[in-house]
Structure 1
Amino acid sequence: MSGAGRLAATTAALAHQRAWFADLRERAAAGEAVALVNADAPQEVLRAMDVPYVVNQWWASIVTAKQLAQESLAVVAGLGHPDDSRQYDVLALGSRGVADQDALWGGLPKPGIVIAELSGDATGKAFEAWTDEPGTAFFPYERTAAVPAPERWWDLVAHDWERVFGADRIALMAEENRQLIAFLEERTGRTFDLDRLREVMDLVNEQEEWNMRTRDLIAQARPTPVRVSDTIPAVMVPQWHRGSPWGRDAARALHDEVEALVAAGTAVVPDERVRLMWVGRGLWGDTALYRRFEEEFGAVFVWSMYLAIAADGYVRYGDDPVEALAARFVGVTDLLYSPLLAPQWYVREARTHGVDGVVHLVADDVAGARFITLALQEQGIPVLEVRASNADPRALERADLDGSIARFVQELAGQRGGG
């Protein structure tokens, strides 16, 4: 059965996000301190304390989708900072100076608090730049090194965190979580409640359990019933609301919708000839790219990291929610990028989803990307590696994404006898 259209879960998530952001702007206008938090720092503490926050990567996706990335980068350059490095990190900073704030849902309120992990010297500088504004404080988390990786970490990480990440790393981040709590109490006047954080953590686990079921449904379906351009927002908007009943319920609604599509035999491309995997950050400024190869080549993107890492990377069961939260975030970037942990996971995902090839978008701040490409190729999985930033239109134009992917898909289709 053909005719896969936009998911109802996607439409509902996007509508919720607009309403939520309007409320956040009202809270900021009323004098509440808003936090800008990087995706690799624990938002759950903020949720437990009811501190309004915006995730830096989500806002970068809005800036890019509204075709304002280049103007935002120009603002960054005008402030005296580099505009050709860590573009994804600095789009939010530059966006507050673009002319068309109406396009950006009214604009990002000035954050009073900025939180990020120091994944490199440049990252620290990018987030310190916010403190040039009076009244904005930066809370940095240390970046610790990965330990030797066990095989099949995805089977261990929910319970046996220390085996995956190491006890010392988790203990350090748990202490930093406590420091963040004290920092937020001082800055906001709010009081932290351990039981409230425990509730948040339980809701997150429920949400990710639904994401795991959804990921597994899609992995087993032939042909694929959904596009990644639909599943990415349907997953990631609720991810930015992790620990809320709405986030949990949205993940369940996505699962139920996908389950119904699979049962009905719905197909994005009924004559599916090439199954593709997108490795790397989302192409927010041109999500239509994920659809442009369907009609001519029978090619469909069946996988992105967003649903998969939600399924495998976030569930943590434990009695101490502060420690469990540390175990969630201490290695979340390792799972996606570390040469010790990431390659085996991408290979597993490629196999379970039955992909014919991988498009790998490599940014300049992803040091372990080459190991991922090599691991896939060693298993006989063709990889098209594209070196560009998803947040910099100039770099994407130079990379000729459409032409490169079209040639790659043609080769794959030819190998399968499809062209």
Structure 2
Amino acid sequence: MTRLGAAAAATAYQKEWFAGIRARAAAGEPLVLVNADAPQELLRAMDLPYVVNQWWASVVAAKQRADDALQMLRDRGYPDYSRQYDAISLGSLSLQDPPWGGLPQPTVVLAENSGDAARKVFDLWAELPGTDFYPLERSSAVEAPPRWWELVPHRWEEAFGAERIDLLAGEITDLAGYLTERTGRVLDLDRLGAVMELVNEQAEWNRRTRDLIAAARPTPVRVGDTIPAVMVPQWHRGTEWGRDAARRLHDEVAGLVEQGAAVVPDERLRLMWLGRGLWYDLGLYRRFEERYGAVFVWSMYLAIAADGYARYGTDPVRALAARFAGLTDQLYTPPWSTDWYVKEAQAHGVDGVVHLVADDVPGSWFTTKALEDAGIPVLEIHASNADPRTGGPDRIDRAVSGFIEQRLLSREGRGPLRAAGRSR
């Protein structure tokens, strides 16, 4: 199959957009570097250009420059073996010939306090002349509501609790004031409301796409295509382009489903990639199709875009707080995360799960256990998704191949594919 048009279009748009970001920064406009778990929609409403820290780290890793960026930190006496996904962007500032011309030095860095090591990474940004760090608190849940994905779009106060939303809503209001003092940009609540409406529309398109893929047998798309096709628009949430890109992905997938298209026509195994994208080896997701008839049909990126972002309400600040108050819970805190992963695995009919576990991901043991208890075999791989030294293509390839042969194909007496063809 050729690459999804939506994926190619999103990548092309992102390169053009980033060139514009660099031009705006060079002209003296403020720039915010923001973590993926921070309320980016506020920046959108204030017309503040921003770059997502994890997206830039993924670009550096995909261009095989992650170790070079980490070397910059080593040269300054800082550790390179912890929170690499957070730290690569900082190290990349010193790269010679960096990808896409390089990340401009930000005016403000915005991130949640998610542990001592992460806080130290972002404190280092504030040591750069002209850069400030604004930390946000991370709250935790006392209880997890059952089937939270059905609750959070409209009944988010019930899902997360008023106290958690109060805390983050207050911080968002304070952050808006700080950004006004630092940059001169002012928050318009009507503009924020319009941004939130566009994000909700984008989330609904992503939900429809996710449901199409979950129901399709065999799968018409591979995750190596859906990841850029959904994640680039996610970094542009609150824009008409982001919404329209999500609709384009849906329409393209719907057309493929209608045509009966298949990544692997005689699909033998359906795999779930649980964890962050393996940016330094994106070819991994295709490597097992010819060998075993095994295709990765699920990643968290489309799934969380479908279930995790829609928030409806008349108060845009509180709705925005509700979007981010529990985002980490949804992905990493059991039983929020475990119930959701089991639901997604069952809906997509996966035969097995490859679970990439980074050093900063909590609750991984519970996730694996919940899936195994549901009868779904899991392979855990402990490695950084952005630092190839911790995993490496060969090691991960061998691990996944062994998992497929020893735990998946052997369950039904299957063997590797032969040159004569495949059978199910």
Does the pair score TM above 0.5? yes
Deviations 1:82-101 (A, max 9, x none): 11000000000001112222
Q: Contact (CA 8 Å) 1:72, 1:91: kept in 2 or not?
A: yes
2:205 is aligned with 1:210: yes
Q: Secondary structure at the match of 1:135?
A: coil
Measured in 1, the distance between the counterparts of 2:104 and 2:34 equals 13
Contact 2:281 2:393 in 1 (8 A): no
Matches of 1:297 and 1:397, distance apart in 2: 21
Contact 1:38 1:55 in 2 (8 A): yes
Q: Distance in 2 between matches of 1:24 and 1:98?
A: 19
Shift of 1:80: 2.3
Amino acid at match of 2:332: Y
C-alpha distance after superposition, 1:273-308 (max 9, x if no partner): 010000000011111000000001000000000000
What corresponds to 2:170 in structure 1? Answer: 175
TM-score normalised per structure 2? 0.96
Q: Secondary structure at the match of 2:273?
A: strand
Contact in 1 for aligned 2:169/2:318 (Cα 8 Å): yes
How far apart, in 2, do the equivalents of 1:67 and 1:342 lie? 31
Give me the whole-angstrom Cα distance separating, in 2, the residues matched to 1:399 and 1:150. 41
What corresponds to 2:71 in structure 1?
Answer: 74
The DSSP-based 3-state class of the residue aligned with 2:134 is: strand
Following superposition, the deviation at residue 417 of structure 1 comes to: 3.9
The equivalent residue for 1:266 is: 261
More deviation in 228-237 or 114-123? 114-123
8 A contact 1:388–1:399 mirrored in 2:
no
Q: How far is the alpha carbon of 1:150 from its aligned partner?
A: 1.1
Q: Summarize deviations over 1:112-131 as a string: whole Å, max 9, x none.
A: 10000001111111111101
Counterpart residue type for residue 409 of structure 2: A
| Structure 1 counterpart of 2:161 | 166
Q: 1:236 aligns with which of 231, 248, 258?
A: 231
Aligned counterparts of 1:98 and 1:27: Cα–Cα separation in 2:
21
C-alpha distance in 2 between matches for 1:158 and 1:381: 29
- What's 1:347 paired with? 342
1:399 CA drift (Å): 8.2
Distance 1:418 1:98 in 2: 48
2:23 matched residue in structure 1: 26
Shift of 1:418: 3.1
For the pair 1:12 / 2:5, whether they are aligned, the reply is no
Q: Give, in whole Å, the separation in 2 of the partners of 1:287 and 1:121.
A: 30
Contact 1:386–1:399 (CA under 8 A) maintained in structure 2: no
- Which letter maps to 1:86? R
- Aligned residue-pair number: 414
Q: 1:62 aligns to what? A: 59
CA distance in 1, matches of 2:175, 2:388: 35
CA distance in 2, matches of 1:397, 1:266: 32
Superposition RMSD in Å: 1.0
- 1:333-344 equivalences in 2 (<5 Å): 333-344=328-339
SS of match in other structure, 1:111: coil
- 1:355-394 correspondence to structure 2 within 5 Å: 355-394=350-389
Matched, 1:281 2:253: no
Alpha-carbon distance in 2 for matches of 1:100, 1:402: 30
Deviation at 1:79, TM superposition (A): 2.1
- Whether the aligned pair in 2 keeps the contact of 1:273 and 1:418 (CA below 8 Å) is no
Task: Return the offset for 1:414.
Answer: 2.7
Q: What amino acid sits opposite 1:413 in the alignment?
A: L
> How far 1:319 sits from its partner (Å)?
0.3
Output the CA distance in 2 between the equivalents of 1:346 and 1:191: 39
Matched-pair contact (CA < 8 Å) for 1:220–1:352: yes
Q: TM-score, normalised by structure 1?
A: 0.97
Whichever residue aligns with residue 35 of structure 1, its letter is V
Q: Structure 1 399/76 Cα, relative in aligned 2: closer, same or farther at 3 Å? A: farther
Q: 1:416 aligns with which of 412, 416, 419?
A: 412
Matches for 1:133-152 after TM superposition, within 5 Å: 133-152=128-147
- State how far apart, in whole Å, the 1-side matches of 2:413 and 2:251 are: 35
* Structure 1 gap ranges (5+): none
Alpha-carbon shift at residue 398 of structure 1 (Å)? 9.2
% identical aligned pairs: 65
Match of 2:419 in 1: none
Residues 374 and 64 (structure 1), Cα distance of their counterparts in 2 relative to 1, 3 Å cut:
same
The separation in 1 between residues aligned to 2:114 and 2:399, in whole angstroms, is 31
Partner of 1:199: 194
User: Aligned partners of 1:47, 1:17: CA distance in 2, in Å?
Assistant: 16
Aligned residue number for residue 118 of structure 2 = 123
**Whole-angstrom CA distance in 2 between matches of 1:415 and 1:255:** 35
The residue type equivalent to 1:175 in the other structure is G
Distance 2:251 2:39 in 1: 28
Contact kept, 8 Å, 1:147 with 1:166, in 2: the verdict is: no
